[in-house]
């Protein structure tokens, strides 16, 4: 059940273990899946260094150009600020908010600590992003206690060891556990009993179901469907006629049917990054400079994950928001910025004359496999080997000194201004 503000954490946890919301003992049988989600993760990490901002409106993002909100404190969210919202809109909603530029290295470091903590609880951990994961604790019950006791333990350790808070949803399936963690945010815990899952789901609005975005919601509302109970009462044939193959899946979810297990081995299918320019541009120098920056970011992430990829993809979004992508096979696994940059600029040149100015550009490496098993591209030109070696040295420097990095001179800030990216990147 959600936490009650104003009560000590220990007594809250004890109450959660003893009683349900109706004053009865909760039935925890079969509820072995936890969804653990950090609360306003980027903001929480920043507040560890700036505790004086606790309780204030805080936004993490770049305060210029077309940047978007990466994270917002709950005080800012109360005013309508949301992740992925344009910063211009967010600042209009919360003009007094403190804006902090993101430090992705710090978030990745804390994310690693979070996942390490999860893995100390159970070996069945399925990360969803840097700050959330599913845990199957069925094998930990004898050692650590009931699901609610384990959930309380996770929350205590996250706060004590990492200085941030987490919300925990507990249920018999992944889908329902994620709903539970969402419904008890921030800093709460909610268990949805297996035998009462359908009863609980049917009290929720239809947008609580996975896959119900703005367009699907609009289509469902045209059918007179506004709640999960409405979906459950609608014939599958009607839903399928409107939503296609997704109709049956939505109907199953409305009845709490989600047999997917927690999958502990998560292999990334691709790693990429993209940037939106503050001013749309035709300038090849601006475009290739941004590709160089993105290539270094992607290569660093590949090496950090111990992965290499055989396919390179380029993404270009024009000023009218139309998007094109091109890809090429690399022959052997790549994990160096030099190889990625060479391939990406080649794909850009192959596009020929651009019909419009460019709003966004991105690069992605796909068909990933562990570096240990991926044959890396052998270079005839020793300069390519030297470049990769320099990048590896740069990785070591960054790991030891944090923000310090070796980068190409072309990426150092120059005195002249150019319409560079406003840096709402995909990581």
- Residue 115 CB coordination number (10 Å): 15
CA–CA separation, 280 vs 360, rounded Å? Answer: 8
**116: which residues sit within 8 A by CB, 6+ positions away?**
none
Q: Which of 16, 46, 75, 132 is catalytic?
A: 132
Give me 164's structure tokens.
């941030």
Q: Which residues are annotated as a binding site for Mg(2+)?
A: 37, 131
For residue 49, what is the enclosing H or E element?
Answer: helix 41-49
425 is catalytic: no
**31: which residues sit within 8 A by CB, 6+ positions away?**
147, 170, 171, 172, 191, 192, 193, 194
CA–CA separation, 294 vs 306, rounded Å? Answer: 18
Q: Which residues are annotated as a binding site?
A: 37, 131
Q: Would you list the DSSP string of 173-220?
A: SHHHHHHHHHHT-SS-EEE--GGGHHHHHTTSBGGGSTT--HHHHHHH
Interstrand relation of 125-129 and 166-171 (parallel, antiparallel or unpaired): unpaired
| Residue 60, strand partner residues | 71, 100
What are the CA-CA distances from residue 112 to residues 87, 233, 239, 257, 290 (Å)?
28, 43, 41, 32, 28
Catalytic residue positions? 132
């Amino acid at each position: 059940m959600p936490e009650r503000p104003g009560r000590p954490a220990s007594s809250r946890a004890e109450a959660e273990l003893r009683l349900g919301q109706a004053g009865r003992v909760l039935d925890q049988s079969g509820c072995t899946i936890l969804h653990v989600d950090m609360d306003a993760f980027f903001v929480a990490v920043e507040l560890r260094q700036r505790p004086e901002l606790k309780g204030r409106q805080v936004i993490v993002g770049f305060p210029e150009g077309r940047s978007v909100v990466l994270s917002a404190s709950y005080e800012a969210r109360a005013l309508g600020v949301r992740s992925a919202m344009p910063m211009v809109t967010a600042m209009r909603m919360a003009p007094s908010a403190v804006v902090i530029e993101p430090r992705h290295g710090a978030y990745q470091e804390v994310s690693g600590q979070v996942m390490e903590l999860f893995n100390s609880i159970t070996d069945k951990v399925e990360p969803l992003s840097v700050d959330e994961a599913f845990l199957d604790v069925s094998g930990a019950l004898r050692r650590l206690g009931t699901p609610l006791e384990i959930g309380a333990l996770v929350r205590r350790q996250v706060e004590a060891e990492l200085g941030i808070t987490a919300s925990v949803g507990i249920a018999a399936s992944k889908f329902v556990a994620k709903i539970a963690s969402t419904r008890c945010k921030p800093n709460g815990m909610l268990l949805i009993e297996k035998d009462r899952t359908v009863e609980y789901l049917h009290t929720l609005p239809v947008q609580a179901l996975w896959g119900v975005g703005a367009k699907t919601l609009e289509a469902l509302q045209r059918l007179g469907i506004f709640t999960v109970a409405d979906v459950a009462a609608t014939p599958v044939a009607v839903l399928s006629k409107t939503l296609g193959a997704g109709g049956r899946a939505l109907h199953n979810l409305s009845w709490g049917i989600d047999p997917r297990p927690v999958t502990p081995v998560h292999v990334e299918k691709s790693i990429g990054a993209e940037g939106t320019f503050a001013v749309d541009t035709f300038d090849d120098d601006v475009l290739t400079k941004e590709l160089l920056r993105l290539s270094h970011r992607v290569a660093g992430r590949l090496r950090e994950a111990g992965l290499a990829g055989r396919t390179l993809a380029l993404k270009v979004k024009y000023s009218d928001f139309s998007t094109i992508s091109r890809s090429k096979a690399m022959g052997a696994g790549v994990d160096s910025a030099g190889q990625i940059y060479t391939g990406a600029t080649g794909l850009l040149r192959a596009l020929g004359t651009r019909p419009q100015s460019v709003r966004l550009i991105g690069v992605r490496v796909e068909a990933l496999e562990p570096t240990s098993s991926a044959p890396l591209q052998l270079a005839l030109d020793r300069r390519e080997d030297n470049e990769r070696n320099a990048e590896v040295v740069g990785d070591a420097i960054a790991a030891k000194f944090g923000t310090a990095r070796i980068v190409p001179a072309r990426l150092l800030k120059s005195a002249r201004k150019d319409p560079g990216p406003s840096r709402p990147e995909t990581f």
